[in-house]
A = this chain, B = another copy of it.
Amino acid sequence: MSGMNFDSWSCPLPLRDYPHVVMGHGGGGKLTAELIEHLFASAFRNPTLEAFGDAAVVPPLAGRLALTTDSYVVRPLVFPGGCIGDLAVNGTVNDLAVMGAKPLYLSAGFILEEGLPLALLGSIVERMAAAARAAGVLVITGDTKVVERGHGDGCFITTAGVGVVPDGLNLSPDRLRPGDVVVISGPIGNHGVAILSVREGLEFETEIASDTAPLNGLIAEMLAVCPSIRAMRDPTRGGVAATLNEFAARSNVGIQIDESCLPVDDQVRAACDLLGLDPLLVANEGKVVAVVPADAAEPLMDAMHRHPLGTRAAIIGRVTDNHPRMVVARTAVGGKRVVTLPVGEQLPRIC
């Protein structure tokens, strides 16, 4: 179970009577109150949450407001390198950070399936709380619903996040210009391959772990050195291919990448070969793609390499006025291929 020790979760006594989630935990009565007090509030502990208003109220923000949401339905709930809880925090933190926002506050909505072990829920929530602390954000409000056995799948989590965007900063995928440089913060494909290898029961020499991580620290360093960054995105579902195709379409430019420059861990590459996956299409949960004017690329690389989450950052391509709205990769053997999006689903329930 990859570092997730259920026994370590010390469930307070009142909840011990119910080792599993029951319908009453979502009923709005005493059981719901107990779950909130002993499980959620004790993990997320902060005065705003503990005011338990219908909405949480915080001081005015100094700048434009950024709002984002993601629902998490990853299967299994716990996987090498993380669980649905840290994924739900990091993913929402990262969606704010790539827009140039400083992430501040999260909300969390839980849809629990009757029968979910409370110790598992407790561990997930503690991991969420640890992820929030690591990212420097507060979970200030939440909600819990319970659905009957067979009408859910253990635990779904929907986080929303609020951040503040500093004046003068305007990142947008429609701002790319020919000549710009495309960078990535580190090796790709780890999250998707980690999930899939658990599901398929694949064994590798060393375990492949999800890269789930909060990117707001790295991105703050990047913006400090290079405020001219055109656009950023964390390449989750659809991978780097989806991010670059969206950038190309929104800016009406072409993007050329060099596959030999793409950082990919050997084990991830081997797994992709085995499973017939293109690493460019596999989800990441702790990487950022950024596009910058060419003259800013070198100081940006230096700044990224100095941050623990950017030590393997690399320049992977360029923006061009050839082939607008198209992403083209130079392959390792010297050919070229068009990098398109799948129509449907490559890896279901990856996040």
Contacts and interface: CB of A to CB of B under 8 A. Distances in A.
A26 interface: yes
A59 to B, nearest CB: 6
A73 B114 CA distance: 13
A199 to B, nearest CB: 12
Interface in A268-292: 283
A158 B71 contact: yes
A42 interface: no
B343 A54 contact: no
A105 B55 contact: no
Interface in A170-184: 172-173
A75 B56 CA distance: 28
Contacts of A28: 236-238, 242, 283
A38 B95 CA distance: 23
Interface stretch (A143-151, A253-261, A296-304): A143-151
A152 B152 contact: yes
A12 interface: no
A349 B144 CA distance: 11
A338 to B, nearest CB: 14
Interface string A85-128: 00000000011101101000101111100000000000000000
A344 interface: yes
Contacts of A211: none
Interface residues of A, number: 86
A328 interface: no
A194 to B, nearest CB: 17
B55 A67 contact: yes
Contact of A346 (B29, B58, B62, B63): B29
A310 interface: no
Contacts of A52: 173, 250
Interface stretch (A1-9, A161-169, A201-209, A316-324): A161-169
A71 B31 contact: no
A134 interface: no
A31 B63 CA distance: 35
Contacts of A25: 344
Nearest to A174: B51
A169 to B, nearest CB: 9
A66 B141 CA distance: 10
A229 B173 CA distance: 46
Contacts of A160: 67, 69, 107, 109, 158, 160
Contact of A22 (B22, B64, B344): B344
A64 B23 CA distance: 36
21 contacts: A25-B344, A26-B73, A29-B242, A54-B94, A54-B95, A54-B98, A54-B233, A55-B68, A56-B66, A57-B64, A57-B99, A58-B64, A60-B60, A60-B64, A67-B141, A109-B160, A111-B158, A151-B153, A152-B153, A158-B158, A160-B160
Interface of A: 22-33, 51-73, 94-96, 98-99, 101, 105, 107-111, 140-148, 150-153, 156, 158, 160-163, 165, 172-173, 233-234, 236-238, 242, 250, 283, 341-349
Ranked 10 nearest A-B pairs via Cβ: A24-B344, A28-B237, A160-B160, A158-B158, A27-B345, A55-B68, A28-B238, A69-B107, A71-B109, A54-B95
